Chains A and B, each alone.
Chain A
Amino acid sequence: MEGMNNVSDETGTATKGAQVTEGKQWEPNIVAFLCRWCSYAGADLAGGSRIKYPPNVRIIRLPCSARIDPKLVWRALEQGADGVLVSGCHPGDCHYTSGNMYARRRMQMFYELLTFLGVEPGRIQMSWVSASEGQKWAQVVSSVTEDVRKLGPAKFV
């Protein structure tokens, strides 16, 4: 029953989401929830500008960082993601005036809860990336990927 959610082999490396085939080195699998106005556009700019960044991140676009319900974050981890990145507009830049400010409080308290439950702090991270910050997006992804790589595969079963 336990294995239904998260198919793992004996070493705990092959998770459902990571799709790691045998013999290949483990690569962190990171889910990124981005607000469509700033961070998604920033990631788009990074792509358009051909800035190189690690391919470990799977992007999910949402209307606003305030739409990033903490249960989405936990669902990603539950389904086998090794890390989650949450990103929105800089304070004051929110398309909906203040969505990112609510998101900041929510995520702060959600970190506290997950950390208390034993999720390593680096697995969930939050960033502000604006539509013009393609370079920053690449840096954020690199640093998050490195952090998650150091932590190793998530084993939440």
Chain B
Amino acid sequence: MEEITKKIQDEARKLLTEGRVRAVVGYRRGWSSEVATPCFVTTEGGTDRLLYDASCRHNLAKYLVGREGLFKFAPTEEEENLPVAIVARPETQRTLVAMIKEKRFVRSDLIVLAINDGSQAGLEPDMEVGRIEADNKGREELQAKIEALDAMEPSERWEFWKEELSKCIRCYACRQVCPFCYCERCIADENQPQWIKKAPTTLSNVSWNIVRAYHLTGRCTECGECERACPMDIPLSLLNTKLAMSVEDAFGYRAGIDAEALPPMFEFREDDNDEFIL
């Protein structure tokens, strides 16, 4: 881990000194020694703050898009045309691929400092700053849980989700932290018409979570940020991974793996599954 930290600092220093980037997005120490927090380095002197360790799990792609993101829609000043360097864990790399497909920015806007674990991403990193162990256990555990839920009766599943989603306090942390929730105006904030009621009743919590999960169909790269951000410990990854698995089964698509393939909800095939239709 220390070598990775050193490599990131060296590369960041080099990029900033040479004036090749306008900012480096990485991690720094947070409020305690076990917590990392995102950081944006724009001067050579700030590069000492950059670090990488096991607590660095954030999906930094979030900080590139949206109203406060580093990429505004129409860059005006000259400096804004310089690329941004980003420390990218494997799931962040997949997120970047999916975002490029959604035309949030182009590949040349980025310098990717990749931390790889051997998994596939549809992106050629500019440089590899480190290698970490692949975390396959996490997804396998999720899949086992999903299979257990699938084997239940629908009413039992409903009870399970009612229990879980009734905890939701509608803080929208899941939305704020999700790199793919970059709408200028979220449907959950709309009043007229009010599709999702504001009061955190169980039913309106279900509505919110349906909208959140469904908007990520074929887009979610399963970084797990929503679940980590959730203060009520709702297993949101179950919903996201279930949909990602369904998309893979039905359309053979996994978000962020292939830079060329269109996202599944953006296209169709004549011979799509027709079995469920009367």
Using CB atoms and an 8 Å cutoff, list the residues of chain A in contact with chain B.
1-2, 4-6, 70-71, 74-75, 78, 91-92, 98, 101-102, 104-106, 108-121, 125-128, 140, 143-144, 156-157
Contact = CB atoms under 8 A, between A and B. Distances in A.
Contacts of B159: 118
Given A74-B207, A91-B274, A118-B155, A113 B242 contact: yes
List of 7 A-B pairs having minimum Cβ-Cβ separation, nearest first: A118-B158, A118-B157, A127-B278, A101-B268, A112-B246, A120-B154, A118-B154
B213 interface: yes
Interface in B220-272: 239, 242-243, 246-247, 250-251, 264-265, 268-270, 272
Contacts of A127: 277-278
Interface residues of B, number: 46
Contacts of A114: 210
Contacts of B269: 101
21 contacts: A2-B201, A2-B202, A71-B195, A71-B211, A74-B210, A78-B207, A98-B268, A104-B268, A104-B274, A105-B272, A106-B265, A109-B217, A109-B246, A113-B210, A115-B154, A116-B146, A116-B149, A118-B156, A118-B160, A121-B154, A143-B278
A91 B272 CA distance: 10
Contacts of A6: 203
Interface string B154-171: 111111111000000000
Contacts of B161: 117-118
Contacts of B74: none
Nearest to B159: A118
A120 B152 CA distance: 12
A92 B272 CA distance: 13
Contacts of A118: 154-162
B210 A140 contact: no
B199 interface: yes
B275 to A, nearest CB: 10
Contacts of A102: 265, 268
A112 B243 contact: yes
Given A98-B268, A113-B243, A116-B149, 15 more contacts: A75-B207, A78-B206, A91-B270, A102-B268, A104-B272, A105-B250, A105-B251, A106-B265, A108-B273, A109-B246, A109-B250, A113-B239, A118-B154, A121-B154, A127-B277
Interface in B138-162: 146, 149-150, 154-162
Given A74-B207, A75-B195, A118-B158, A108 B202 contact: no
A74 B273 CA distance: 22
B197 interface: yes
Nearest to A71: B195
Contacts of B73: none
Contacts of B243: 109, 112-113
A111 B247 CA distance: 12
B263 to A, nearest CB: 11
B28 to A, nearest CB: 37
Given A78-B207, A118-B157, A119-B158, A105 B242 contact: no
A5 B195 CA distance: 12
